[in-house]
Amino acid sequence: MVVKDIIEQLAEARPDHLDGTGQVDRSTRTSELNRAFAQPRTARRRRRGRLVLPLVAVGAAGAVLIAVSDTRPARTGHNAPSPRALSGILLAAHNAEALPTGKYWFADEVLADSYVVKAKTGDYAVSAFGSEDFRWTASTVGGGDGGASRDLPFRPVSAADAAAWRRAGSPATLRVRVDDHYDTLRSVTGRWTTWKSKLLGGTSDSSGGRFQLGLTVEQLEKLPTDQEKLATLLFQSKRLFGKRLMSSGESASTKWAPLDQLNLVRALLSGPLPPRTQAALMRVLKARPGIREIGGVTDPLGRKGVALAVEFPAEIRGSSEKMPWGSRLQLVFDVETGKYLGYQEILTRPGDRYASTKPGFVIRYDVTSESGWTNTRPTPPAGPPR
């Protein structure tokens, strides 16, 4: 049985979620700002007067079991694969252990929000205010680090949206409402702007805060791969190698603990982790109460995978005010390679600005087009994100 065929079958069974539309207004701007909570990722830069908020959302669905015939040499210890069926996440974690290592770590990150364009021929959704951020760091201090970034053009969210855009005359610029004003979207890809850090490599913070927690590669290598020890370190400690952790499970309300824990692991997954450490993080997160596995997930770049997800509580954090819509945060992984593909915020309950959209609408995303370890100094890609 081929895993890829199974995942494709699961994907075909999932509801169509890319044809939604929605309205963007200011009626819930204050609520959304309050909803965003402190994370170990530095705030996005302002783009055209708009602050891209950190993602805070949800997830829940049953795990999909996949039977596998493992032809690899048998391993011993608690990380050895079980002969019984593995879930998609556990299979992905097993495969992640075989990811290569090297002298340099890199990540090509693509992020954007979704907006609805009003047109006489029919409304359509686009991903916009997107950017591509390329980061790299050497595994040792003194080996160098740096990166580059560029603006990305708007693009229709789905095939139906692309058809609606063509019916509208395939305009090269679009006007959309962004918070309390209208802004112009363009279909031109920006040029790469490169930079170098003063940290000279060997750190997970080489891009001035974009990698999470500011831990060095050496410190990340010291994280335990034993699940019980790793869970205790991450979810019952206030500091990690001297770095202050976000709320990790000791939330004032336990209903926030799964979201806090998922965001902490997400922070670590976006940096230069050793393969076995990544696999351990995936297993630890799957075992946490309130975090569910979802199979047959497709990310904004069209890649199929499996996700760990948390549904965002109905009320705004720190208040009794209710959110007018529901959403979930998904961390997506490639089953066959075990690679972390990124995260996306998915609408689960339409309302307010998303009243006319369908559940499954991608509100915003931050995914890695490519990442990993290499022995050759990384360079930004010449073509568009794949």
Residue 385 belongs to a domain:
no
At residue 118 the predicted structure's pLDDT band, cuts being 50, 70 and 90, is: confident
pLDDT band at 79, cuts 50/70/90? low
**pLDDT per residue over 11-32, tens digit each?**
444 444 434 434 333 333 333 4
The verdict on residue 342 lying in a domain is yes
Task: Could you list the beta-strand ranges (E) of the chain.
Answer: 46-47, 50-51, 65-66, 86-87, 104-117, 124-138, 145-151, 155-156, 173-178, 181-186, 193-196, 239-240, 243-244, 292-298, 304-311, 326-333, 340-349, 362-374
In percent, the amount of the chain with pLDDT more than 70 equals 71
Question: Residue 222's domain spans which residues?
Answer: 3-374
Q: Is the pLDDT of residue 275 over 80?
A: yes
pLDDT tens, residue by residue, 170-205? 999 998 878 778 888 888 888 999 887 655 555 554
3-state secondary structure of 32: helix
pLDDT digits (tens, 9 = 90+) for 257-270: 898 899 889 989 98
| Average model confidence (pLDDT) across the chain | 75
The conformation of residue 89, written as its DSSP 8-state character, comes to H
pLDDT at residue 381, as a whole number = 86
Domain assignment of residue 263, yes or no:
yes
> Is 384 domain-assigned?
no
Task: Output the pLDDT for position 71.
Answer: 33
| 8 is a domain residue | yes
Contact 39, 54 (CB under 8 A): yes
Confidence band for 142, pLDDT divided at 50, 70 and 90: confident
Q: Is residue 77 part of a domain?
A: yes
Give the chain's domain count.
Answer: 1
Q: For residue 297, is pLDDT > 90?
A: yes
Instruction: Quickly state the pLDDT bin for 143 (edges 50, 70, 90).
Output: confident
Does 170 map to a domain?
Answer: yes
pLDDT at 2 over 80: no
